[in-house]
Amino acid sequence: MSNRICVRTLSAAVIVATGLTIGGCVNRDKTDLENYVSEVLGRRGGQIDPLPPIKPYERYLYRSAEAQLRDPFTPFMEQEAKQEQIAEPSDAEQQKYSDEILAHNREELEGFELDSLRMVGTLQDDKELWAIVRDNAGTVHRVQIGNYLGRNFGKILNIQEDKIELREIVKDADGRWEERQASLALLEEE
């Protein structure tokens, strides 16, 4: 019985001490805070420095294979195992495709699948013929021979009034690059 009384007394004492501590923390005088806020708001504003100029993006092409360096994004042990299992094709044609893929700057229409793009017309100048292509978001783009379309490195080879002829570079089942002919026909309005 005395243990219960002792525990109750102790609990009551803790509750009273907590209440007094919390009650002592509340200070109703805010004049210091109000004076500080008035002083800060009364300060005169200064000039904001202009933003620094944005540097244009420069593409850096890391060519570890040419310099016989390891790929920094692959764990060391995984890379060793891959090199033992798969030998890269070394003939000149395969190297030509690899060089073209790595060397060209990616263009905006390479972010779309070829079948999601639509040829909607052509524009002709004294010297050149451009094709007008609409992406799946509805944005219209002007392209010419040499531009790239689609995710398979589709390079435009020829533009005619009713279609765009292009050459895509894809990997076959053995992992070797090969060319594939493709075209984008003029969209017939209904």
Assess whether pLDDT exceeds 90 at residue 165. yes
What is the dihedral angle through the alpha carbons of 12, 17, 20, 25, rounded to the nearest 10 degrees? -140
17: number of Cβ within 10 Å = 10
Mean pLDDT of the 164-185 span: 86
Assess whether pLDDT exceeds 60 at residue 84. no
Mean pLDDT of the 77-97 span: 62
The residue ranking higher by pLDDT, 93 or 157, is: 157
Question: How high does pLDDT run on average in the chain?
Answer: 80
8 Å CB contact between 148 and 134: no
- E strand map for the chain: 118-124, 129-134, 140-143, 148-149, 154-159, 163-171, 177-185
Could you read off the pLDDT of 96-145 as tens digits, one per residue?
Answer: 777 777 777 888 898 889 889 999 999 988 888 899 999 988 899 999 99
Assess whether pLDDT exceeds 80 at residue 80. no
**Starting at the edge strand that comes first in sequence, how are the strands of the sheet with 140-143 ordered?**
118-124, 129-134, 140-143
pLDDT range class, residue 91, cuts 50, 70, 90:
confident
pLDDT value for 128 = 86
Instruction: Give domain limits for the chain.
Output: 76-185
8 Å CB contact between 183 and 164: yes
Domain covering 76-185, topology: SH3 type barrels. (2.30.30)
Mean pLDDT of the 53-57 span: 84
